[in-house]
Structure 1
């Protein structure tokens, strides 16, 4: 399950003022026997229903693909946790996947007495302080839980959802919400609603002590995450009395160690009531049909008065509140202003505008004056919006030799500029234009629709939806003076600031692992409820195959191939010049494309260029991959000529800026040093080492000395020459191929002859002959282990069995690996194992397996994964679920827009000229367990794996590692190449 955390990306989900009531008004309509409300001129055409029992249903139809994003939200999160049981809402979220008296159980009448006994034991455990007595009670809990598990069917919820073709099964808990998420095929509405209604009818908290261990692991992962600690400290400082800061979503260690099933049940009974919940669906469905089915299936729920959390009113911040957080990751400075929340719609729109003026990724004050001028390593701002309060936050990282205090002053200096009004008022119009473009793109995505609607429900029960719809219009009516006045009134020295410093966190502690006996998962068992869901009729959805000869229009501009798909949905265009030159061919390429962002021309500065693109809501990028690079221009078709001409000027006429280059090199040096502090980057580097050997794609880079000696002119020459390599031109937009070619020929001048692509390196996976261990030391509570092994060149005939094997073995929550490692043995929060296909026909397949566990459980975790890698458990029921899921995924997948072209190019790299999904689909039903078991024995079992392990040398027994093969402790210099 995921828990939302603060990030450097813009978080702007604010409620907005009703300034355009003549255009955006609430209206009422009736259809299919049900009355609903809607907002005029709502581009999502969302229907808001309130059923007789108070349940809110919000529906938004989008026929782009035969799938539906569904969200079931509860207006209760960690804010609502009892003071003596923090983390309870999150616990409950996990338990809502365990089933009811009708599913998840072999025999409910026999299981129930044991569950009741377990609940009583936890209640006693919760009130016992003597450690010896607690250990004895937990031993009893473990024993009774083992008996109860013999009647449980682990992951039956996931099996039902997977079988009906659901994807991205998940849930999240945050301060004001708990939301359950599914992406379902459009023909699975009846099945989905039947399962969800049953899920909330009478949930049973079975398999609790193994799920408790998963939450422990989740907590320990958070303790290893410096950003998580930073966020918690920031909220604590900003909200010294409100639960936003005083109750973390995952809870305190003390409360995690003393759970109460009675308290969890009480929380469920109080908050999981229809008048405090919403069902949101966005996608391909008939709203009249769907509302009837929701009313029928959820009508059993009874309305109940909800005692909502009433947050305290915080005292004003009158001087900076300073905190320090320590850990091994890179340093940063993060400050936030506490401002009015979503209920103050007038302020919310101004706060959003201020955030965009400061940082919009292209032409904000931070973007131009700090990032493009390279005065800091990086800086950004955003808005975190809650019901009661919001935070305008700023975050920055220091360059080499720069203090965090200097970064703070630079960020606050940009705020001073805003307060003085020293910014161009045309920026406000540009912000509006870019929001219009983003809205147009967002309407294509069901998840964007559903999450936007759900956010409005959580913050205002949907009452502010008219303000949300009116956002762009309201933003456009703001004046510069309104913004300046608000900033001067609300943004002074009234901020909280957290310095993330490098160093030992002396307060860190882990949730200690209790002894747990592995429990039965009854993998082949099926409840009568599951069988009834499986037998429900569903209208077949016919798969759609790509025909590369018909779906892609092909033409020529000179020797260059043009590939085009017409956009018949809106006025957005994407134009790509794709060349077969990558960083493996020229190591300078990645550095050159990064340098381009800081270059101007004879006529325009780099800042002018950024402003000009942002003003017309267009963008460009030059990106380099390992074997090809792309020059991309995106925007509205009405600005096609202007955007393409502007890009042509930049790429052909950019000029050397020595000062910018020296600053860039210094920042890269700092970024490279910071990468060595990141456990995620270290694991990626270690995995590459395991797959390719000491010389690998990850460390194919410049040494620090080589970087220092690179000449700016060499990079600019390379940039100028990108247009002289033979491109594949890709156009997705509203124009026909003929019209697009005419425009491109006019705007993009081809050379008389193309440059030859230099022969570069070609990294190949190693095929190890014996098992070995690669170990990287990192100061962390947990350990993380990747198993890697490569063998066999690409064979399209294997695609079906590879796909089915992955779905069965280790690709999701219902897989063999997840059920065994997490559900049965409680060894990890996160685990998976897949047989990964190559992207090129001459490359090898790779097995990648992963377990992240507490360091003292690493031995058990490795043993558990090795057992599965060597011996494939047999479950016909699980195989059938995997088969159905795979077929449903293919049947409802729609490859559209420029995705059609990129699918064609990917197929070409594999030596294919057809959509391989068709042959895979035709083979799925023919595959048996014998087929995937044979595949497993030939490709997975008893192979000489390389164990890539990141952990603390002080917490991991180094002698233990020798049991798995020859051990090499890899230095950071070896991993990173500098």
Structure 2
């Protein structure tokens, strides 16, 4: 469960908006249907219905019939802002505990379990008030002992098993400053089951298995201590908000408070904030709203309203002069420049902030885009905002290029703010921003997730009371004038900022949450509560799976020697056009460089800045992406501008001119990016895994050498771009035009030769065979240790797909899996862990076993031992296996591959040598699979086999002698990993 809200919402859909002159077409109206009254906003593209039930519970429903699934969110207007000052991190703790069940599920014998849990609660209260290390250890030892007894009556992950069994996906939750949100994506036929489980979940949660879950939170805290970006974030907020909880209470809490939890205080928090008048249920997807609202009313009627004491925000004093902070760590250097702005409830300011942010940075034609990123004055720069209720954080960020100081980056960012304040930008940019917002609206409406999150965001900020202003956002932005932006910028932007420098170096203030002594607890895999059995037995209307028929679902045509694949967009006026080349970096290592270079080039008619502006003005995009064996050109946008967009891109591709200054800057930025990669633990671990999978010569380090990079010339890269259309490629169109019209348009606009030029012969990479155990180690200054297991097995065989999918679901693919239950729930050895049997994407490739544990360094040996036990001996749980099978069936039944996804499914099948939708064969095989087949598969491919262990951690915290227990140790240099 993440503790920070994922930034998934489109700008259009995520902000609270209001203008003084509200559009008449966006008005609140009252409707009635199925015996329930609701409110709605006219011309709302989501057609959201806002209900308030008798007990104050808010329910918002948005119907979208695109696929038989529903995105559900249950939100509480309480996050870390509401934490007691002496128990920070409490809201986040509670979020984790809401997955542990009630007295009706999650327990084998509630009456016997209850006595132990009551004792544990008292012991934690004692622990919270005990000082002295020996006395505290004694109390914790008692907690551990009683927790082991209580766990004998607990059923670990029963919530996850119920959700998995009904076909739910994306089971998760997050806590942030003003919210706690519980997330599920369910099949449309599981509404009754879902609501029954959720109503029971919030009735009276039981805080069982607390000390192992607490250890998971410790691990999450330690992961944060290894994250330089999070340290910058928290430092920025602390400086911006010296008195407000935005800056004074981090979501995950302080180490001191994490070490001293109090279950009674957590219960008090739950009782105070988890009440119907402070909660909302949001559902977006395929359902009957009349039926759903009636069921919610029936199932949640037991909830009783209560007066909620909301956080009273202090008024922060104005920042009179720059506040400068420094953060140290091993990752790449960068800078944050942050301003405290009016909060999201200041509706007019919210509109102006959004437009101002887009003027500065919209990806194509903003001031930072054209004046900094396009001219490659830094490695990269951007703008962002955190629109909370009381204040909005508006920030600029930048990374230095080679030989550049962070102070120079800061000056460049401040320079663009001065340009903004002087009004030195074209007023027509505002119109282009509105056009692109319309494009974002169309794209966002396709996603149930975007719909639900936008609605929930409105509930958290203003209980949905200003939804009409959210809906009118595009119109509101269109009314903004250049002078209003200039006035707003001059009012709020000056020397009143917080400047955070992230510098490379040792963080001497870093602490870690010490590992407590925890005895593994029982997880009772085979157990099922009567409640789970009742949920599983609830009738559900069958959903028939829909198979793709590539011969019928895809239309084909020819444009000269090029094949054209076509699917019509019958939903809106958006198009996506692709040129897909069967060549990439494996054919020519210079091709990815040429693809990057194009965005900085002009032609004989247009400068590169003019090209970017024009694409933005017509609300269209282009992208050139060169992967290992495929290069894809994508042109997308509004169909009404199809001809303009394709013509402009074709002109750029065929008439781009060399620019030596741009190439020199690109080389410099690439060299800095390479330096930064060597500072990134994510990039280093990726290199270790690729080294293990393929050996010293692998796709990851198939890079231009320093000499090759320096020797690149503008002419050869431009020639490469000019020649690109001459190579074999497939044309793909998804849009509202007919096939004949689309083919004719492409034929007129896209230059295709009479015969294609043969692509350069690709290099090949063969997966290595693990003959004996080996350890690949990379040193990194971090609190945690991360371990990946890697083993390559046999060649691709489509007849194995069903058992592989079942094995992954059962063994290591989710929170209810064997691996997660054992490593995290029972032994509390990791926050994150998984294990998969990875299917290749080409018929000639081999499968791989990949397993992972991220744990505290002092738990690494226990974590490795725990995973090795599972790799060698797969535990049997018939109930868990049945749940995994039912989940597979539900997922296939409700999956709808639509739009251009149909074409890419077809292309992926082709690479595997398949001509039909493989899901049909998998679905037919599920019922005939049992544990014997899963165990046989496990024993043949995983058990007692040699593995390569990829270990990333600090040599100061990890013993090389310990690593030698697992195999011959090779310390891999960064040059070996990255190839430069």
Query: TM (normalized to structure 1)?
Result: 0.99
Counterpart in the other structure of 2:27:
25
Counterpart in the other structure of 2:15:
14
Q: Distance in 2 between matches of 1:191 and 1:170?
A: 17
Counterpart in the other structure of 1:786:
788
**How do 1:768-787 residues align onto structure 2 when only pairs under 5 Å count?**
768-787=770-789
Is residue 8–residue 381 contact of structure 1 (8 Å, CA) maintained in 2?
Answer: no
DSSP 3-state at the match of 2:402:
coil
Counterpart in the other structure of 2:308:
306
DSSP 3-state at the match of 2:700:
coil
Q: Distance in 1 between matches of 2:598 and 2:153?
A: 63
DSSP 3-state at the match of 2:699:
coil
Following superposition, the deviation at residue 20 of structure 1 comes to 2.4
Counterpart in the other structure of 1:80:
82
Counterpart in the other structure of 2:339:
337
Counterpart in the other structure of 1:219:
221
Q: Distance in 2 between matches of 1:765 and 1:364?
A: 45
Q: Quick check: 9-18 or 635-644, which moved more?
A: 9-18
Asked if 1:933 corresponds to 2:921, the answer is no
Q: Paired residue for 2:511, among 509, 514, 526?
A: 509
Q: Distance in 1 between matches of 2:627 and 2:727?
A: 15
Counterpart in the other structure of 1:447:
449
Is residue 5–residue 228 contact of structure 1 (8 Å, CA) maintained in 2?
Answer: no
Following superposition, the deviation at residue 482 of structure 1 comes to 0.5
Counterpart in the other structure of 1:4:
4
Is residue 88–residue 251 contact of structure 1 (8 Å, CA) maintained in 2?
Answer: yes
Counterpart in the other structure of 1:263:
265
Counterpart in the other structure of 1:490:
492
Q: Quick check: 709-718 or 273-282, which moved more?
A: 709-718
Q: Paired residue for 1:660, among 662, 666, 670?
A: 662
Counterpart in the other structure of 1:374:
376
Counterpart in the other structure of 1:683:
685
Q: Distance in 2 between matches of 1:484 and 1:128?
A: 58
Q: Paired residue for 2:570, among 550, 568, 571?
A: 568
**How do 1:553-952 residues align onto structure 2 when only pairs under 5 Å count?**
553-952=555-954
Q: Distance in 2 between matches of 1:843 and 1:745?
A: 36
Q: Distance in 2 between matches of 1:819 and 1:518?
A: 11
Asked if 1:153 corresponds to 2:150, the answer is no
Following superposition, the deviation at residue 761 of structure 1 comes to 0.6
Q: Distance in 1 between matches of 2:443 and 2:754?
A: 38
Is residue 92–residue 264 contact of structure 1 (8 Å, CA) maintained in 2?
Answer: yes
**How do 1:45-194 residues align onto structure 2 when only pairs under 5 Å count?**
45-194=47-196
Is residue 11–residue 383 contact of structure 1 (8 Å, CA) maintained in 2?
Answer: no
Is residue 560–residue 753 contact of structure 2 (8 Å, CA) maintained in 1?
Answer: no
Q: Distance in 2 between matches of 1:494 and 1:487?
A: 12
Following superposition, the deviation at residue 5 of structure 1 comes to 6.5
DSSP 3-state at the match of 1:698:
helix
Is residue 9–residue 453 contact of structure 2 (8 Å, CA) maintained in 1?
Answer: no
Following superposition, the deviation at residue 753 of structure 1 comes to 2.3
**How do 1:235-246 residues align onto structure 2 when only pairs under 5 Å count?**
235-246=237-248
Q: Distance in 2 between matches of 1:374 and 1:571?
A: 34
Q: Quick check: 607-616 or 706-715, which moved more?
A: 706-715
Deviations 1:389-424 (A, max 9, x none): 001110001111111111111011111111111100
Following superposition, the deviation at residue 6 of structure 1 comes to 9.2
Asked if 1:972 corresponds to 2:970, the answer is no
DSSP 3-state at the match of 2:888:
helix
Is residue 105–residue 153 contact of structure 1 (8 Å, CA) maintained in 2?
Answer: yes
DSSP 3-state at the match of 1:112:
helix
DSSP 3-state at the match of 1:255:
helix
DSSP 3-state at the match of 2:837:
strand
Is residue 9–residue 380 contact of structure 1 (8 Å, CA) maintained in 2?
Answer: no
Counterpart in the other structure of 1:249:
251
Q: Distance in 2 between matches of 1:967 and 1:5?
A: 39
Deviations 1:905-936 (A, max 9, x none): 00000000000000000000000100000000
Counterpart in the other structure of 1:963:
965
Q: Distance in 2 between matches of 1:684 and 1:310?
A: 45
Deviations 1:11-48 (A, max 9, x none): 77321114324111111111110000001100000000
Is residue 5–residue 174 contact of structure 2 (8 Å, CA) maintained in 1?
Answer: no
DSSP 3-state at the match of 1:84:
coil
Following superposition, the deviation at residue 704 of structure 1 comes to 1.8
Is residue 10–residue 444 contact of structure 2 (8 Å, CA) maintained in 1?
Answer: no
DSSP 3-state at the match of 1:289:
helix
Gaps in structure 1 of 5+ consecutive residues:
none
Is residue 345–residue 389 contact of structure 2 (8 Å, CA) maintained in 1?
Answer: yes
Is residue 166–residue 182 contact of structure 1 (8 Å, CA) maintained in 2?
Answer: yes
Aligned length: 978
Is residue 9–residue 382 contact of structure 1 (8 Å, CA) maintained in 2?
Answer: no
Cα distance change, pair 916–8 in 1 and its aligned pair in 2 (3 A): closer
Following superposition, the deviation at residue 514 of structure 1 comes to 0.3
Following superposition, the deviation at residue 726 of structure 1 comes to 1.7
Q: Paired residue for 1:325, among 324, 327, 335?
A: 327
Q: Quick check: 650-659 or 12-21, which moved more?
A: 12-21
Is residue 10–residue 450 contact of structure 2 (8 Å, CA) maintained in 1?
Answer: no
Counterpart in the other structure of 1:393:
395
Counterpart in the other structure of 2:956:
954
C-alpha RMSD over aligned residues: 1.0
Q: Distance in 1 between matches of 2:422 and 2:744?
A: 48
Counterpart in the other structure of 2:467:
465
Is residue 787–residue 950 contact of structure 2 (8 Å, CA) maintained in 1?
Answer: yes
Cα distance change, pair 925–10 in 1 and its aligned pair in 2 (3 A): closer
Deviations 1:421-468 (A, max 9, x none): 110011000000000001001000000000000000000011111110
Is residue 583–residue 625 contact of structure 1 (8 Å, CA) maintained in 2?
Answer: yes
Q: Distance in 1 between matches of 2:264 and 2:616?
A: 55
Deviations 1:159-206 (A, max 9, x none): 000000000000000000000000000000000000000000010000
Q: Distance in 1 between matches of 2:543 and 2:869?
A: 39
Following superposition, the deviation at residue 489 of structure 1 comes to 1.0
Q: Distance in 1 between matches of 2:381 and 2:924?
A: 51
Counterpart in the other structure of 1:284:
286
Following superposition, the deviation at residue 727 of structure 1 comes to 1.3
Deviations 1:284-333 (A, max 9, x none): 00000000000000000000000011111100111111110000000001
Q: Distance in 2 between matches of 1:5 and 1:888?
A: 28
Q: Distance in 2 between matches of 1:719 and 1:310?
A: 59
Cα distance change, pair 878–893 in 1 and its aligned pair in 2 (3 A): same
Q: Paired residue for 1:431, among 406, 427, 433?
A: 433
Is residue 702–residue 979 contact of structure 2 (8 Å, CA) maintained in 1?
Answer: yes
Q: Distance in 2 between matches of 1:9 and 1:177?
A: 16
Q: Distance in 1 between matches of 2:888 and 2:69?
A: 15
Cα distance change, pair 148–193 in 1 and its aligned pair in 2 (3 A): same
Deviations 1:42-92 (A, max 9, x none): 000000000000000000000000000000000000000000000000000
DSSP 3-state at the match of 2:587:
coil
DSSP 3-state at the match of 1:964:
coil
DSSP 3-state at the match of 2:435:
helix
